[in-house]
Amino acid sequence: MSPTVAKARKSGASAKKMPSTRKKKSATKPGKRKVVSSKLSFKGRVFDVYTDTVIEPSGHKTVRDVIRHNGSVVILAVDESQNPKDPTVILERQYRHAAGQYLIELPAGTRDPGEAPLVAAKREMIEETGYRAKSWTMLLRYYASPGFLAEWMQIYLARDLKAGESKPELDEQIEILHMPLSKAMELVRDGKIHDGKTLIALSLYDAGRRQGRL
């Protein structure tokens, strides 16, 4: 055997795949958060603000300002008695100081401490619109803005409506709007509804009807 062939065979032998020294990635479960300290920084009529020092699941230690809130309910009240194919939606128009403008919204409100969400939804609908409903369905539960706001919002679909007298709070100047769903969705598409909860609820309901789920 020539030295060249022998060298080639030796090289070939040494070229065999060596066992990898790299460790395989293991599926690690995220850790749990740990609140190191929590200080009340502001106490308001509707919400409180806490400054929390926290070790997050990644292990990163940071300071977060968090708004604590009892949670809110949103009521999508629909009247299907006149036109089931294009039901009437109960909407409101009211001035919102934080937005600096009038907004079109669904009825909604804050839960009282210890109040069940459905009880709050029924109370808020009566207070703001005067309507009562025989049928209630919880459509969705979501965080409004989880970057800093620990508030759950729950959207309820209210059907089989009965009109009554509203009992708004002193600071609530509300104009009630009775609008066909098709018109409400037209406002959504045209960018004329700017309230997040209303956009979510109307879009969810419209999609559910189109898919035959609602």
pLDDT tens readout for residues 158-168: 999 999 999 87
Q: Which of 56, 151, 165, 172 is catalytic?
A: 172
Region for 160 from its dihedrals, namely left if φ exceeds 0, alpha if ψ lies in -120 to 50, beta otherwise? left
What average pLDDT does the segment 136-153 reach? 96
Percent with pLDDT over 90 in the chain: 79
Whether 118 contacts 136, CB under 8 Å: yes
The secondary element (H helix, E strand) that includes residue 126 is: helix 117-129
Determine phi and psi for 147, rounding to 5 degrees: -65, -30
Instruction: Output 79 or 19, whichever has higher pLDDT.
Output: 79
Tokens at 71, concatenated: 């949670």
What pLDDT sits at residue 167?
A: 83
68: which residues sit within 8 A by CB, 6+ positions away?
47, 48, 49, 50, 150
Q: Alpha-carbon distance 123 to 133, whole Å?
A: 11
Tokens at 56, concatenated: 């997050």
Q: Which of 91, 85, 76, 192 is nearest to 138 (CA)?
A: 76
Annotation marks residue 56 as catalytic = no
Instruction: Output 15 or 132, whichever has higher pLDDT.
Output: 132
**In one letter, which amino acid is 87?**
P
Q: With a cut of 90, say whether residue 16 has pLDDT above it.
A: no
Per residue in 81-112, pLDDT (tens digit) is 999 999 999 999 999 999 999 999 999 999 99
Average pLDDT, the chain: 89
Q: pTM for this structure?
A: 0.82
Q: With a cut of 60, say whether residue 72 has pLDDT above it.
A: yes
What pLDDT sits at residue 43?
A: 96
Domains and CATH numbers, the chain: 34-68 (no CATH), 72-140+152-210 (3.90.79.10)
Q: With a cut of 80, say whether residue 32 has pLDDT above it.
A: yes
- In eight-state DSSP terms, residue 70 is -
Question: Cα 189 to chain center, whole Å?
Answer: 20
What pLDDT sits at residue 15?
A: 43
3-state SS of 148-166 is: CEECEEEEEEEEEEECCCC
What average pLDDT does the segment 125-145 reach? 96
